[in-house]
Amino acid sequence: MSRLAQTAGLTDIQQEILATVRDFVDKEIIPVATELEHRDEYPQAIVDGLKELGLFGLMIPEEYGGLGESLLTYALCVEEIARGWMSVSGIINTHFIVAYMLKQHGTQEQKDHFLPRMATGEVRGAFSMSEPALGSDVSAITSKAVRDGEEYVLNGQKMWLTNGGSSTLVAVLVRSDEGHPEGTAPHKSMTTFLVEKEPGFGEVRPGLTIPGKIDKMGYKGVDTTELIMDGLRIPANRVLGGTTGRGFYQMMDGVEVGRVNVAARGCGVAQRAFELGVSYAQQRHTFGKPIAQHQAIQFKLAEMATKVEAAHAMMVNAARKKDSGERNDLEAGMAKYLASEYCKEVVEDAFRIHGGYGFSKEYEIERLYREAPMLLIGEGTAEIQKMIIGRRLLEEYRFQG
């Protein structure tokens, strides 16, 4: 199915990468995704395949062994992968955000140390802002780092780490009051620490525990965990960028590209839902004809396809804006908001087209129905996107009277 979600102006290399990824998705992901998801099984063979394709290093500069591709290429690959199984795009996404933050904000030593091994997928990234008492309100973080000689001692509890168990490098945002007097704005007293650890669960490093996987309604296969720091000692040279107090801005930069990524996931899941819906509608007969011949179902298909097209166009626009070096928070917020809402609606329509069979675990749409809601939450809820969009609009359209 290739009529929808086309992207004009791609280079030969971009087209080649996308064709390879689509082929991989069709042959290696779609046939096994639903079964693995129902078993909540980590897709190791798929991850190994993605490593071979070089996808863990897609945006890492060539000098560090990556492919040095743009955010657009990355987002279009994510769209393809999410079309196959959204959880697989989640496995890559936190890795990509951490690599991006290192590339943008890391010291030379940090880049040299981590990026080549991240490009091969040997080091795998996760990022951690959320805590049990906060997600949207990042400025309320209570986890804390206190300096002790050439080290920092970290204490606190983190929540909702995608790839918390399988990763070996976690970018953790904590409060660090050192050098920042009482009364400093919360976002100026936060620091990102680069925390290396063993993969797995339990005490993965002295002072650092990853309890088991959180049991989720969807987005299965990929591990989502808590992270507990109890006297965790991190050397001062593992402060991202070498200077404390910059963590909030570094994380927000990472989340901004992450929003394009979530938009791309929404596009991919919506495309798959459309494919399933349009196919089923031509096979199922009621009242003597395929349900696709009933106007009510055709209207649904028309609405679904229009939403797929609109979300794809906004996602591509947001990615291109960032690639051009311009600020893209408005476009990324809009793309994330629209693509995730449309994804939920397209999946719901495809589910309705399936009638009772959509409720059966034998049909792929059942999985998509449980996956789509995650996109309404991750990288900032719809309300948070609207706050970002609204504030930016008021900056752009300031009343001059």
The catalytic residue positions are: 379
CB of 163 to ligand FAD, least distance (A): 7
* 51, 168, 351 from 117: Cα distances, Å: 11, 11, 42
Cβ proximity to ligand FAD, 249 vs 357, nearer residue: 249
In sequence order, what E strands does 220-284 have? 224-235
Cβ proximity to ligand FAD, 10 vs 377, nearer residue: 377
CB of 78 to ligand FAD, least distance (A): 15
Helix axes 12-24, 44-53, angle to 10 degrees: 160
Q: What is the C-alpha separation between 235 and 149, in angstroms, rounded? A: 9
Binding site for ligand FAD (CB under 6 A): 94, 127-130, 134-137, 160-162, 216, 219, 224, 374, 377-378, 380-381, 383-384
CB of 47 to ligand FAD, least distance (A): 17
Q: What is the C-alpha separation between 375 and 373, in angstroms, rounded? A: 5
Which residue, judged by CB position, is nearest to ligand FAD in the bound state? 135
Nearest CA among 246, 237, 253 for reference residue 184: 246
Cβ proximity to ligand FAD, 84 vs 254, nearer residue: 254
Backbone angles phi, psi at 115, to 5 degrees: -60, -40
CB of 312 to ligand FAD, least distance (A): 24
Residue type (1 letter), 232: L
Cβ proximity to ligand FAD, 337 vs 342, nearer residue: 337
9: helix, coil or strand?
A: coil
In sequence order, what E strands does 3-88 have? none
> Which residues is 173 bridged to in the sheet?
192
